[in-house]
Amino acid sequence: MDWLSVLIFLPLFGGLWISLTGRNKTAFARWAALAVTSTELLISLCLWWGAVPNEEGYFYIIRAPWVPTMGIQFLLGMDGISLLLVLLTALLSPVVVLVSWNAVQRNWPAFAALLLATEAGIMGVFLSLDLVLFYVFWELMLVPMYFLIGLWGHERRLYAAYKFFLFTITGSLLMLIAILGLYFTHGKQTGIYTFDYFELLKINLPGNSEMWLMLGFFVAFAVKVPLFPIHSWLPDAHTEAPTAGSIFLAGLLLKTGAYGLLRFCLPLFPDASADFAPVGMILGIIGIFYGALLALVQEDMKRLIAYSSISHLGFVVFGIYAWNEESLNGAVLLMLAHGVTTGAMFAMVGMLEERSGTRLLAQLGGLLSPLPRLASLLLLFTLSAMSMPGLANFVGEFLVLAGVFQVSAGLAVAGALGIITGVVYLLWMYQRAMLGEITIKRAWTDLNRRETVSLGLLAFAVLWLGLYPAPFLDSLQIPVTAIIESKSSVPTGSIDALR
């Protein structure tokens, strides 16, 4: 059976089914969405369990004609990188449904349909190996997320939704131009016009065209990461989105940008990417410190965690452009760790807001006593975000620093200082929210069974990634080696100049 297509079309048709048959049936929409997302998780785990790579490192490939006259195919593939990100998507999706169970008060069928459409788009991005198909799913993520923010967000939701849409669509159009450039260049060279990823890997780009085409892809992915200075949509989108939207944004949509750098920028444009690597690493360092310093001055917990995402994803880009085995492994593991950890933290901020009516640190405090389970789990995820050994983020950041050190000891030291900055704002957040005197006098209720199950899944993932990352690293061995081998040349003045 074509399980890769099932991963994409099950949530898409599931969402359509819920929207058509579940009108004014809130309980039905909730349980149906949970059933679809749980099935996705089960399928993903089975695919991981039975995965056997071919010579190119792909576990599964599906190929069928779509628009053959233009060389467009329905081409899906899953290697170690996409497998792990599919698992992350499948894990976070039922958590998002559980977290939204009571938080969303109106029109649950439409809400569930948009959630599932977003999941389908993200799955498609991680699995598509035809560039037109990839672009279709890249845009499919944008539309339902726009409505999730605009319809179920907070006070300034429309402003945040417009900003998110405009930033993302601008980057996407630049990528579309670059895709067409690859298509016509390959056609002129070979007489075969195709959007097949495997065929385009063989292209020989003349002159400066490789750099320009690479930049078209890079800008689109940098917007989604997001990298400084095209990051400003993120804090507003995170702050105004409903909790489900914040989890999807931080846990998954940001990862599609980093995935794009790994899947397309480096292998398709190796020489241009090697020349660009110093700039990429410097932008990563700027993101690490910029996000951390702005997080230090935030009073809104959601906004603080949003800026922390800029810092952590800067670390991912930092590792990607160091471009060696340790740094690439670390970047992918950090993507997984950040998705789980930050997704859990956004979920817990939503739970706190449901109970207290506020996200402002100045109005919180002393919640360790009335909410011991919530406070304990928040401490676990906060320690993971701080890169505490034995928890998820530590392995990824350690490998990134080990890889960067081989390129530049100075940049590695700068990255380590960025981790220290992160410790400061995360401890400050936890201390103000959970310790000290209780500022809100009310009857508090700790985590219920539904909330405990959703956070328990993420806590298990945090501990597994931190204590036993070997299965994840094994999945990355072949695709990471292929990315390293794509670096055909590193001219003087590029990466080596950073030593």
Contacts of 203-209 spanning 24+ positions with Cβ under 8 A: 203/268, 205/269, 205/272, 209/181, 209/185
pLDDT in tens, the chain (499 residues): 589 999 999 999 999 999 988 777 889 999 999 999 999 999 999 999 988 888 778 999 999 999 999 999 999 999 999 999 999 999 999 999 999 998 888 889 999 999 999 999 999 999 999 999 999 999 999 999 999 999 998 888 899 999 999 999 999 999 999 999 999 999 998 889 999 999 999 888 887 899 999 999 999 999 999 898 888 898 889 888 999 999 999 999 999 999 999 999 999 999 999 999 999 999 999 999 999 999 998 999 999 999 999 999 999 999 999 989 999 999 999 999 999 999 999 999 999 988 888 889 988 888 888 999 999 999 999 999 999 999 999 999 999 999 999 998 989 999 899 888 888 999 999 999 998 888 777 778 899 999 999 999 999 999 999 999 999 999 999 999 999 987 755 554 455 555 5
366: left (phi over 0), alpha (psi -120 to 50) or beta: left
- Would you give the DSSP letter of residue 106? S
Query: Would you list the DSSP string of 16-42?
Result: HHHHHH-TT-HHHHHHHHHHHHHHHHH
Helix, strand, coil percentages, rounded to 5, for the chain: 75, 5, 20
Residue with tokens 């998820």: 392
- What is the domain partition of the chain in residue ranges? 3-496
Residue 51: helix, strand or coil by DSSP? coil
Contacts of 98 (CB under 8 A, 6+ apart): 34, 450, 451, 453, 454
- Would you give the DSSP letter of residue 300? B
Cα(64)–Cα(61) distance, rounded to whole angstroms? 10
Residue 72: helix, strand or coil by DSSP? strand
The three-point CA angle 222-224-227 to 5° equals 40
Backbone φ, ψ for residue 155 (5° rounding): -55, -45
Which residues partner with 373 through β-bridges?
Answer: none
Contacts of 441 (CB under 8 A, 6+ apart): none
Q: Give the model's pLDDT for residue 178.
A: 95
Structure tokens at 216: 């078209």
Structure tokens at 92: 């976070």
- Would you give the DSSP letter of residue 227? P
